[in-house]
Structure 1
């Protein structure tokens, strides 16, 4: 059945089909509020921790985008820690230079790279016409003691140049164990006071109401930008034009997730990771394009099928032991 209006681009080019879009979530809103509070209060370092697939990397991107709009005079740097990171000083500073988009991140000795990094960061701050550098470290649970000491050196050098450095360590819950171990020694306790003063648990969706913000964003975010094609309308044009909105589906979608959780006999409170909510919505929209009609609505069966195909249950099965331990210890 032909569409009432031709779509402006092929569906395969849509950000939803390519998973290159960002929608807000309550956890992202809480993270951004925490970041802004730390900056206002002058708190130089904070931990933001949550399970894998909870959307932390996605949240960093969202926060960076908002910070660039609201704090245009702050320089912002994002560092992604690789698996089994090297303890080589030269390689570590080379990685930081690459994150800062230096044209020669991999050349020179450790000292040369260190000095180039100091200069590059100061240049970024000067270009922003401010005195703040905001750093996000993704997968921060992979940082080793040496890495923290080198980051401390960077912070000290920037302070000598009149620059305030704020570091947000974003990682999995295991980073809390590292914080506890650092507290045990006088030599490492200063790492806690520098980089781990505040903590925030990055949560998944924990109630039907939590879904409203994200689902509603599909009804208002447009592609192409500033066009008359919200994401929901792009895939379900006739239904959208007749009043269908994903934002009103929070109850039926929560029930679909809850039913899957009950069938799996999980003995912990349900929490939906951001990745699996997004995947479920993507499946529901793309798989039902051919059923679009003025009276079309996503049924409970449609949502249940999308939840099943998202691998939500398989993801929680891998985390079952962790969730049970958290419940036992009240974390």
Structure 2
């Protein structure tokens, strides 16, 4: 390979190969816009719901990064709810301490842990030199009534300390059933008014134009940072330098997913999860790296192969019943 084509790092160190990168999507943009709107309007709680594999956890990470950049005086905390979470007060507050990176999350009684949570969260807000705490709860459909009550206690205590807490419950559509059930009782309706005032559906890709934003990010995101090596150029340098851009491939990529969708005879409207778009692009770039040439193009056959290897069809076979239920429910 000529010196001019030598890459600055080994492919094994590239974020795309290691799946250690982030690109925006229309759904992420909508989610971040809603988060910012809630903060501006003082809406203390919102539900953001979408199917598994839609990229919600990824979206939380992206939103957290943007909040740190654009609102540096706001403290941000992310809590990931485990499967079958314990209803132990001590374990729950220990989990909050661990999320806040406290040095002793597993020691002490429930009361001691609770008090340490109050102090630690107030400390995070003070360190940010502001008066707001943003909390993202991932897999929020796993929260039980007790967890909501403990979060309410945290919110109340922070209010007493002059801190405004905003909570974004990010989970699967089943969380809407929990919201409906809470509304039925006076004792639990306040949970809705505190944590579930607003709601947003987190979508997959629904049209070819939806792909443009993400594809363009591969053409502009660089590694190493600030270098002249956009992701697309790193893998297809000769093609990139003669005008190839992934952003221009949005129709071809959409057609490949559409063809796979039709071959599988899915009886629901196509909506492609971010996970499989990203995986398809990764396969297309990495597998064709050795084929790079000035006139190289990702043909329909190559895109079809990448979609097939992404396991998109197999994944949606597993989710077929969920999509059918969505159509019935009008989601």
- TM score, norm. by length of structure 2: 0.99
2:142 alignment counterpart = 142
Q: What residue number does 1:214 align with?
A: 214
Residue aligning to 2:303? 303
Per-residue CA deviations over 1:230-263 (Å, capped at 9, x if unaligned) read 0000000100001000000000000000000000
Q: CA deviation at 1:3?
A: 6.9
- Give, in whole Å, the separation in 1 of the partners of 2:68 and 2:148: 26
Q: CA deviation at 1:326?
A: 1.3
Does 2:316 align with 1:320?
A: no
Q: Report the alpha carbon displacement of residue 2 of structure 1 after superposing the two structures with TM.
A: 5.6
Q: Give distance in 2, aligned partners of 1:323 and 1:142.
A: 21
* 1:14 alignment partner in structure 2: 14
Match of 1:114 in 2: 114
Aligned: 1:273 with 2:273: yes
Which residue pairs with 1:283 in the alignment? Answer: 283
**Cα distance, 1:318 vs structure 2:** 1.1
Q: Gaps (5+ residues) in structure 2?
A: none
Q: Equivalent residue of 1:203, what SS?
A: coil
SS at match of 1:206: coil
SS in structure 1 of the partner of residue 5 of structure 2: coil
Deviations 1:283-303 (A, max 9, x none): 000000010000001000000
Closer/same/farther in 2, CA of residues 284 and 248 from structure 1, 3 Å limit: same
Q: How much does 1:328 deviate?
A: 2.1
Matches within 5 A, 1:121-200: 121-200=121-200
Cα shift at 1:325: 1.7
Secondary structure of the structure 1 residue equivalent to 2:137: strand
Query: Do structure 1's residue 258 and structure 2's residue 255 form an aligned pair?
Result: no
State how far apart, in whole Å, the 2-side matches of 1:71 and 1:230 are.
27
For 1:62-73, list aligned pairs within 5 A. Answer: 62-73=62-73
For residues 47-102 of structure 1, give each alpha carbon's deviation from its aligned partner in whole angstroms, at most 9, with x where no partner exists.
00000000000000000000011111110000001111111100000000011111
CA shift for structure 1 position 4: 3.9
1:329, distance to aligned residue in structure 2 (A): 2.4
In the aligned structure 2, how far is the partner of 1:55 from the partner of 1:314? 17
Count of aligned pairs between the two proteins:
331
| Alpha-carbon offset, residue 30 of structure 1 | 0.2
Contact conserved, 1:47 with 1:169, CA < 8 A, in 2?
Answer: yes
Q: How does 1:5-84 map to 2 (within 5 A)?
A: 5-84=5-84
RMSD: 0.8
Q: What runs of 5+ residues in structure 1 fail to find an aligned partner?
A: none
Is 1:4–1:238's contact at 8 Å kept on the other side of the alignment? no
SS across alignment from 1:209: helix
The 5 Å alignment of 1:86-125 reads 86-125=86-125
SS of alignment partner, residue 244 of structure 1: coil
Q: Deviations over 1:7-33 (max 9, x none)?
A: 111001100000010000000000000
- TM-score norm. by structure 1 comes to 0.99
